[in-house]
Structure 1
Amino acid sequence: MTIPSFDITDRIVLVTGSSRGIGRTIAEGLAEAGARIVLNGTNSERLESARAELAAVHGNDRIHAYAFDVTDDAASEASVATIEDEVGPIEVLFNNAGVQHREPLLDVSLDDWARVITTNLTSAFIVGRAVARRMTHRGSGKIVNICSIQSDLARPTIGPYTASKGGLRNLTRAMTAEWAGKGLQVNAIAPGYIHTEMTQALVDDENFNGWVLRRTPATRWGKPTDLVGPAVWLASDASAFVNGQVVFVDGGMSVVV
């Protein structure tokens, strides 16, 4: 029996929203597994800093950075074309870019609603389509959308985020329905509560932190590195017959009441 390969050596991977946070950790983990990484963000200074730090470990020829707005269709299409010309064919895309907005639904402005939906959901369609146009032509490729435990569950004050991540779950299914037959595997990772600089205020909130620990069977917050193993698996040939799935990395929170 031949064991499916988890090797992603030299595989070209684009990770959106990867200058910091979860995207940065996923990119770093994939680089350590041998992939060639293309970082993305809109803050050019922060993006270059991230590129330089990773390149110091993995080499300038293995770590690249392209600043573009993933919510801009024309800019994304042009940037994907440039990446493929200058770095090589994108073999794996991680749609990670996202924002949060905490406010009761009755008070959310339409502008804030649209900003969250556009950044978290529409950008995955925009970049995913730009990359898939080339992947389907080649007959192979992988897309991994970063969803959330809020793809299936909801709690007060994050309605736009919940709607966007639920939409991203079903966009993953729609992409599968249309592109699996053309050689693509499209899946998603759904993190639970992950301790990052963006969630530090929640960790510091005694009541909220206690709720997370009681609600999570593993009785801890997740770490960004907890997402690296599933990311490597979905980026590798070992997941060649996995399509349209949402892999929850949440310490068991989504399976208990």
Structure 2
Amino acid sequence: MSLDYAQMFRLDDRHAVVLGCGGIGAEMVAGLAAQGARVSCLDKDLATAEAAAVRAPGGAAYPVDVLDEASVRGVAQQLGQVDVLVLTAAMNVRKRLLDYTAEEFDRVVDLNLRGTFTAVRAFAPQMVERGSGSIVVLTSIRAVTVEPGQGVYAATKAGAMQLVRTWAAELGPAGVRINAVAPGVVETPLTQQIRDQEDWGRAYAEKSALGRWARPEEMVGATCWLASDAASFVTGSQVMVDGGWTAIDGRFTPPA
């Protein structure tokens, strides 16, 4: 079936689920809704999910702990047909590897990696049965480049991308696509501690080709594209939304 160029970015009559509705997730909710999707907002904190749902006409909020497999599966069954799944839930403990505790390691790996594994396993089967669906996982520039203090987080994001690639291979024959959006440095409450330190915040800004931090809403375009028919032949990909961070060395601009 040929694409309707006038409508290929639209998500009308589709049901999108966003799991993790704070910060960037709230912008995802608003963006998907603006393209016509009916959005269900899932978050461990119900108030966070409800606040995001306000930005999506007809949106609904559900308390879901992505680490509780039974809870995730239950909501997946309750929601019925889901056409788009967006996963944003993640955490970081910024600490050098030799200083990490086993408990901190488990917390980061559980949410970032096992949480992704659990969510896709809950929602993908009905997509496979129906023969269509698009899943978008938020990874990070840390999936491909690291710095001191980011090792465990980076490992989980690289691991999540390998899951994405494997699911693309396994789910593709059934018509289900899965991709990743990899943000660079984004102005969210989680990065406030960095931006509060002038030298550190400026160094991060200057590392990218665009010379600034991203705004949360700048992650939405790539996500909506991957969710839509405009990306109908895109699967197993990681879209870098990083202002050029991973494209250049960014440490020094030599004289011409």
Please state which band the TM-score falls in when normalised by the shorter chain: over 0.9
Task: Describe the superposition over 1:84-134 as per-residue Cα deviations: whole angstroms up to 9, x where unpaired.
Answer: 1xxxx0101011111111111101111111111110111111110111111
Note the aligned Cα RMSD (angstroms).
1.3
- Aligned residue for 1:218, secondary structure, equals coil
* Displacement of 1:48: 2.5
Please, which runs of 5 or more residues in structure 2 have no aligned partner?
Answer: 250-256
Partner of 1:38: 40
In the TM superposition, what are the counterparts of 1:126-141 in structure 2 within 5 Å?
126-141=118-133
Query: How is 1:44-123 mapped onto 2 (pairs within 5 angstroms)?
Result: 44-51=46-53, 53-54=54-55, 58=57, 62-84=58-80, 89-123=81-115
The TM-score, its normalising length taken from structure 2, stands at: 0.93
Quick one: distance in 1 between partners of 2:48 and 2:237? 32
The structure carrying a bigger helix percent of its residues is: 1
1:154 pairs with one of 140, 143, 146:
146
Other-structure match for 1:254: 246
SS in structure 1 at match of 2:190: coil
- Using the aligned pairs only, state the percent identity: 35
Aligned partner (choices 8, 16, 21) of residue 19 of structure 2: 16
Match of 2:199 in 1: 207
Distance 1:146 1:47 in 2: 18
Q: Does 1:177 align with 2:178?
A: no
1:233 paired to 2:235: no
Change (3 A) 1:105 1:2: closer
- Helix, strand or coil at the partner of 2:77: helix
Q: Secondary structure at the match of 1:186?
A: strand
Shift of 1:45: 2.8
- Deviation, 1:42, is 1.0
Does the 8 Å contact 2:9/2:35 carry over to 1? no
Q: 1:225 to 1:49 in 2, by over 3 A?
A: closer
Q: Displacement, 1:207?
A: 1.5
The aligned residue for residue 254 of structure 2 is none
Deviation at 1:54, TM superposition (A): 2.0
Q: Distance in 2 between matches of 1:48 and 1:7?
A: 24
Q: CA deviation at 1:174?
A: 0.7
* 1:74 CA displacement: 1.4
Aligned-partner SS, 1:8: coil
Quote the offset at 1:2 in angstroms.
4.9
Equivalent residue for 1:6? 9
- Matched residues in 2 for 1:117 and 1:2: separation? 40
Q: TM-score, normalised by structure 1?
A: 0.92
2:59 corresponds to which letter in structure 1?
I
Cα distance in 1, alignment partners of residues 175 and 3 from structure 2:
21
Q: Deviations over 1:150-174 (max 9, x none)?
A: 0100011121111110101111101
Code of the aligned partner of 2:44: T
- Which residue number corresponds to residue 222 of structure 1? 214
Cα distance in structure 1, aligned partners of 2:79 and 2:4? 32
> Structure 1 stretches of 5 or more lacking a match?
none
The alpha carbon displacement at 1:47 in A equals 2.4
Shift of 1:201: 1.7
Report the count of equivalent residues: 246
Q: Does the 8 A contact of 2:24 with 2:216 survive in 1? A: yes
SS in 1 for 2:124: helix
Paired residue type of 2:220: V
